[in-house]
C-alpha cells in the first residue's frame, strides 16, 4: 500500500497548481493536503501577479478565489482566457451570495466551482477529477496529432502518385507542360479576388494542378496531333473529365477536387461537357477553374496559332460572361487583368512551358 501511495505521489509531482487568494491563511491551509496528494502548490495573494505568472510560467491547474482586491476572480479569468484557453480553473469562494456559479462558469469557461469549507473535501475531489480530465485531454491531443501526421503522410504519398501521373500526361501532351501549374495559380488569383477562404484556395490550387489528369487515358495520337481535331477525335478528348474523375474519385483525401476535375469544361449556358449542366448547378470552384483554363488557353501559343492579344482575350471573357463563363467569375478575371496584371506576368514567367 505504501509503495502504491509513493507511485501515485511520484506521478502527481508532474502537476503544478497555482492557488490564488488574497488571504494567505487560505493558501497555507491548502498547502498541506495538496502536498499530501503529491502535487506541487504555488501560492499567490495578488491577482494581477497571478495573471502575469500564468502568462510566463506553466501551470496545470488554478484554484481561484472570487472576491479579491484589486480585481475579482471573474476578471482574472477573463484576462487569462485572452492568452490561455485551456488552463483548468476551479473557482473557489466563500461568498456564495455574491456569485452566480453556473452563469460565471459558462461565460468564462471555468471548469469547476467549489464553495469554501474547513476540510476542503469537495475541493480535493475536484482536484483529482481535474487531473483525470487533463490526462484524458492530453491523450486525445496526442491521438489527434498522430492522426493528423498520418493523414499528412498519406496525403503526401497520394499527391506524389498523382503528380507522377500528371508528369506522364505532360510527356504525352506538350501543351499541358506548364499549363496545369498556370491554371492552378490563376484559379487561386481569381479565388483571392473573390474573397474565398484559405480552404477553398487550397482546393483550387490542387484542383487546378490536376484538372487535366484524365488526359492520361487519351490516345497519344490525339494529344500530340498538330492542327484541328476531327469530330471523332474531339469526342475522345471530351472524355478526359470522366477519366480524371475515375482516377481520383476513390480517394477520400482529394474528394474536394473531384467536382473541379469533372466539371471544369461545363459552360454556364449548359452547352459544355460531360454533363451539360448549367448556371449554379456547376460547382463554383469548377466555374473558377473554367475561366482560368480558358484564359491560359487563349494566352498560350498553340501549334495552329500564336497566343491571342490581351485585348482580344479580355473581350472574349467579357462576351463569354453568362454564356461560357459565370458572370461573377468573369468580372473578377477582368478586374485582375485591369488592376493586377503584374501577378499574371509573374505566373506566366514562373511556369513558362
Task: Enumerate the active-site residues.
Answer: 215
How far is residue 211's CA from residue 241's CA, in Å, rounded to a whole number?
A: 8
Name the nearest CA neighbour of 343 among 175, 179, 192. Answer: 192
Residue 13 grid coordinates? 509531482
CA angle 95, 101, 104 (to 5 degrees): 115
How far is residue 26's CA from residue 16's CA, in Å, rounded to a whole number?
A: 18
**Beta strand 88-93 pairing with 112-115:** parallel
Cα distances (Å, whole numbers) of residue 294 to 113, 225, 341, 346:
62, 20, 17, 18
For 57-78, the DSSP string reads: S--SEEEEESS-SSS-HHHHHH
Q: CB neighbours of 42 closer than 8 A, spacing ≥ 6?
A: 16, 17, 18, 19, 53, 59
Sole residue written with cell 484542383: 207
Amino acid at each position: 500500500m505504501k509503495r502504491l501511495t509513493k507511485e501515485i505521489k511520484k506521478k502527481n509531482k508532474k502537476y503544478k497548481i497555482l492557488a490564488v487568494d488574497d488571504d494567505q491563511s487560505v493558501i497555507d491551509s491548502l498547502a498541506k493536503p495538496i502536498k499530501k496528494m503529491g502535487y506541487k502548490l504555488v501560492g499567490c495573494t495578488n491577482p494581477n501577479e497571478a495573471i502575469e505568472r500564468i502568462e510566463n510560467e506553466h501551470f496545470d491547474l488554478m484554484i481561484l478565489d472570487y472576491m479579491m482586491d484589486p480585481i475579482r476572480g471573474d476578471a482574472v479569468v477573463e484576462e487569462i482566457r485572452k492568452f490561455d484557453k485551456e488552463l483548468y480553473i476551479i473557482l473557489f469562494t466563500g461568498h456564495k451570495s455574491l456569485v452566480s456559479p453556473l452563469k460565471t462558469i459558462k461565460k468564462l469557461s471555468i471548469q469547476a466551482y467549489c464553495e469554501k469549507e474547513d476540510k476542503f473535501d469537495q475541493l480535493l475531489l475536484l482536484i483529482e477529477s481535474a487531473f483525470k480530465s487533463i490526462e484524458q485531454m492530453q491523450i486525445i491531443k496526442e491521438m489527434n496529432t498522430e492522426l493528423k501526421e498520418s493523414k499528412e503522410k498519406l496525403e503526401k504519398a497520394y499527391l506524389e502518385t498523382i503528380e507522377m501521373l500528371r508528369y506522364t500526361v505532360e510527356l504525352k501532351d506538350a501543351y499541358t507542360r506548364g499549363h496545369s501549374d498556370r491554371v492552378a495559380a490563376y484559379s487561386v488569383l481569381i479565388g483571392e479576388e473573390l474573397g474565398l477562404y484559405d480552404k477553398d484556395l487550397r482546393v483550387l490550387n490542387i484542383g487546378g494542378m490536376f484538372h487535366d489528369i484524365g488526359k492520361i487515358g487519351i490516345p497519344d495520337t490525339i494529344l500530340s496531333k498538330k492542327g484541328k481535331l476531327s469530330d471523332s477525335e474531339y469526342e475522345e478528348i471530351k472524355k478526359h473529365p470522366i477519366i480524371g474523375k475515375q482516377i481520383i474519385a476513390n480517394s477520400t483525401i482529394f474528394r474536394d477536387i473531384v467536382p473541379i476535375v469533372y466539371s471544369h469544361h461545363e459552360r454556364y449556358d449548359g452547352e459544355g461537357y460531360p454533363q451539360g449542366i448549367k448556371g449554379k448547378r456547376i460547382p463554383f470552384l469548377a466555374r473558377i477553374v473554367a475561366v482560368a483554363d480558358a484564359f491560359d488557353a487563349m494566352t498560350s501559343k498553340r501549334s495552329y496559332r500564336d497566343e491571342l492579344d490581351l485585348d482580344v482575350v479580355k473581350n472574349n471573357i467579357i462576351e463569354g460572361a453568362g454564356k461560357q463563363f459565370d458572370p461573377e467569375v468573369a468580372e473578377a478575371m477582368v478586374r485582375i487583368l485591369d488592376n493586377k496584371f503584374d501577378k499574371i506576368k509573374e505566373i506566366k514567367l514562373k511556369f513558362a512551358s
